[in-house]
Amino acid sequence: MIERREKQRIEQREQYLKLILEPTKYEGLDEALWKEIVFIIESHGIELLQGKNWFTFSFPDELRAFITNKDVLTKFADLRTLEKELEEIDKELQKKSSFNEASNLINDLENTKNSLAESKGKIPKLKLEIQQLIESINEEKQNLFQTLN
Which of 30-34, 49-53, 106-110 reaches the highest mean pLDDT?
Answer: 106-110
- pLDDT at 108 (0 to 100): 95
**Is the model's pLDDT at 25 over the cut of 90?**
no
Question: What is the three-class DSSP state of 129?
Answer: helix
- Residue of 6, 43, 40 whose CA lies nearest to 20: 40
| pLDDT tens digits for range 63-74 | 767 777 656 667
For the entire predicted model, the pTM comes to 0.38
Single-letter amino acid, residue 90: D
Cα(57)–Cα(69) distance, integer angstroms: 14
**DSSP summary character for residue 44:** I
Tell me: the pLDDT tens digits for 96-139? 999 899 999 999 999 999 999 998 889 889 999 999 999 999 99
Tell me which residue of 43, 139, 124, 26 sits closest to 77, measured CA to CA.
26
